[in-house]
């Protein structure tokens, strides 16, 4: 328990500096394990095994409550789905204003697809099914073919992918896609990219 606590205190600030800016203090949660583990050790060294077991349970419960009641909420603010869907809704609102109409929706009204990248949270925050464009070995259809089929539908639509695939898509669909938003990936290197297709 002490070793895990020390590991959290040391490692989390470094990880947070890269993926969770400003949340390095989450590493302090490891002090709960260090203190609880030290108290267990002290009790055990005096033969107070029942007290040590109780301390272990209390420390574990306190750590889990701190993680799921505080740390998870802090980390959740860096999730991608909410700002990405908000960017799509904002883009739709701008288009509506240009056309002289103003229909607000908390979820995208236009079809949304993902390309070689998929997170279930995209469906949840999008409030609708999302077309998944990936390589399909069973049908022999490539991700690019799936996306071409998606883009062949009339009207405005959006494509979410990572910057890893941006050059590929710009080369294949350069006259049909326009980047409207970039968002740092959640707990990973690179960025999410949202393309708009259509007017």
pLDDT tens readout for residues 7-66: 999 998 888 887 777 788 888 899 999 999 999 999 999 999 999 999 999 999 999 999
By 3-state DSSP, what share of the chain in percent is helix, strand and coil, each rounded to 5?
A: 55, 15, 30
pLDDT in tens, 127-163: 888 888 888 777 778 888 888 889 888 888 899 999 8
Looking at residue 98, its pLDDT comes to 65
pLDDT of residue 110: 84
The whole model's pTM is what?
0.67
pLDDT of 106 reads 65
Query: Does pLDDT of 79 surpass 80?
Result: no
Which of 35, 47, 83, 39 has its CA nearest to residue 183? Answer: 83
Q: How far is CA 170 from CA 81, 117, 155, 175, 198, in A?
A: 23, 17, 19, 8, 15
What confidence score (pLDDT) does residue 86 get? 83
């Amino acid at each position: 328990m002490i070793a895990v606590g020390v590991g959290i205190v040391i490692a989390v600030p470094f990880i947070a500096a890269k993926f969770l800016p400003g949340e390095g203090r989450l590493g302090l949660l490891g002090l709960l394990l260090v203190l609880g583990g030290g108290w267990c050790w002290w009790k055990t060294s005096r033969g107070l095994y029942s007290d040590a077991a109780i301390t272990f349970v209390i420390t574990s419960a306190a750590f889990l409550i701190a993680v799921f009641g505080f740390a998870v909420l802090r980390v959740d603010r860096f999730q991608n789905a909410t700002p990405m869907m908000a960017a799509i809704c904002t883009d739709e609102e701008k288009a509506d204003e240009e056309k002289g109409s103003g229909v607000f929706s908390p979820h995208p009204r236009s079809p949304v697809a993902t390309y070689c990248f998929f997170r279930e949270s995209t469906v949840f925050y999008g409030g609708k099914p999302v077309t998944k464009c990936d390589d399909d070995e069973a049908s022999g259809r490539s991700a690019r073919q799936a996306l071409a089929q998606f883009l062949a539908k009339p009207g405005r639509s959006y494509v979410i992918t990572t910057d890893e695939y941006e050059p590929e898509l710009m080369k294949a669909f350069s006259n049909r896609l326009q980047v409207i938003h970039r968002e740092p990936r959640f707990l990973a290197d690179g960025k999410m990219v949202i393309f708009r297709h259509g007017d």
